[in-house]
Amino acid sequence: MRLHCISINADNLNMNYLLLSCVLLSSISFIGYSISYFTSSHMKNEFERFKLKKYGVFIIILEILGAIGLLAGLIYTPLLIVSSGGLAVLMLLGLITRIKSNDNFLVSSPAIFYLILNSYILYLGINQ
């Protein structure tokens, strides 16, 4: 069985810096967001407001797994693809939830940003 790893050579060195930067930004953000769920009552209140309280811990676990998967995906590309795709889907669902809750653009912008960022990581992973 051959592992599909991202290789670093002169041709794709700049792309790897871009990928690394995007992965670090996304994974650190999701880890921070996940920690804040357990340390901030505001985060739990948001899940209650969206009527998703019973799914809160499950969603946070998916985000933690996605963040770890992004980092591990720097070594094993299929994991990068699955993790970035999963986080993009979570952000799409988060955006839909915010739209249904009549949240304004400013409040919804982080979901839009991370949807685009993780979709871009997915694109980079597929095209390695």
Local confidence band at 10 (pLDDT 50, 70, 90 cut-offs): very low
Q: How do residues 79-95 score in pLDDT, each as one tens digit?
A: 999 999 999 999 999 99
Boundaries of every domain in the chain: 33-126
Q: How do residues 91-111 score in pLDDT, each as one tens digit?
A: 999 999 999 999 999 999 999
Nearest to 71 by CA among 12, 123, 6, 13: 6
